[in-house]
Amino acid sequence: MKLTEKELEIVEIVEKNARIPLDTLAKMTALTVEEAESILKKLEETKVIVQYATIVDWRKIDGHEGVTAMIDVKVTPKRGVGFDEVAERIYRFPEVKSVYLMSGAYDLSVVIEGRSMAEVAHFVSEKLSTLDSVISTTTHFILKKYKHDGTVFDQGDQDRRIVVAP
């Protein structure tokens, strides 16, 4: 679908800041509040905007440390449905945060989030590996997040400029 210049602008702004007040958004795009609201609504209805997400640094919250693992999965594709069927079986598990079909040494990349390493290990050994189509899995635990979805964690973003300059 082709978006107008204003629609595209609104997508770009809310992608970076979903909580921007509507009147601010309207001023930034030189629209009335009603126009901006109606564009937002259209973008939501047509699923151009799929969801408003929040990136949380869980390590900062006591008792919520959690672990994230990326799992390389080799599978046997099925006639007629290729990789789609097995991908769907995998992404329906609530522990699974994302699933991608990959080119290269393995087929699916699966991102899992769990409360502990034991929980992730349990998921891989009991649920993922036991699926018929799954040939092998390689699990990588994420040790530290530096940047996620375009957002740098713990960035020192203080303004280094002098207060008044020509």
Partner 1 sequence: MTRATKTYVSETVSRLKPSGIRRFFDLAASMEGVISLGVGEPDFVTAWSVREACILSLEQGYTSYTANAGLLELRQEISSYLSRKFGLFYRPEGEVLVTVGASQALDLALRAIVNPGDEVIVVEPSFVSYGPLVALAGGVPISVRTNGADQFKLRPQQIEEVVSSRTKALILCSPNNPTGTVLNQEDLAAIARLVEKYDLLVISDEIYAELTYDEPYTSFPAVEGMRERTILVSGFSKGFAMTGWRLGFVAAPEEVLQAMLKIHQYTMMCAPTMAQYGAIEALKNGEHDVDEMRKSYRRRRNYFVQSLNDIGLHCHLPGGAFYAFPSIASTGMASEQFAERLLLEEKVAVVPGSVFGASGEGYVRCSYASSLEQLQEAIKRMKRFLSRL
Residue 107: Cβ within 10 Å count = 22
- The answer to whether residue 102 forms part of the interface with partner 1 (CB under 8 A) is no
Chain mean position to CA 104: 22
Determine if 159 is a binding residue for partner 1 (CB under 8 A).
Answer: yes
Residue type, 5: E
Instruction: State in angstroms the smallest separation of the CB of 126 from partner 1.
Output: 44
Q: Does 18 bind partner 1 (CB under 8 A)?
A: no
Q: Decide if 12 contacts 4 (C-beta within 8 A).
A: no
Evaluate whether 111 touches 69 at the Cβ level (below 8 Å).
Answer: yes
Residues between 20 and 79 with contacts to partner 1, criterion CB under 8 A: 20, 24, 27-30
Q: Show Cβ contacts of residue 113 under 8 Å, excluding neighbours closer than 6 positions.
A: 66, 67, 68, 95, 97
Q: How far is the CB of 161 from partner 1 (least distance, A)?
A: 5
Q: Which H/E stretch holds residue 140?
A: strand 134-141
Decide whether 50 or 162 has the Cβ nearer to partner 1. Answer: 162
Q: Site for partner 1 (CB under 8 A): how many residues?
A: 17
19 or 92: whose CB is closer to partner 1?
Answer: 19
Residue from the set 13, 33, 70, 96 that interacts with partner 1 by CB under 8 A: 13
List residues near partner 1 by CB under 8 A: 9, 12-13, 17, 20, 24, 27-30, 159, 161-166
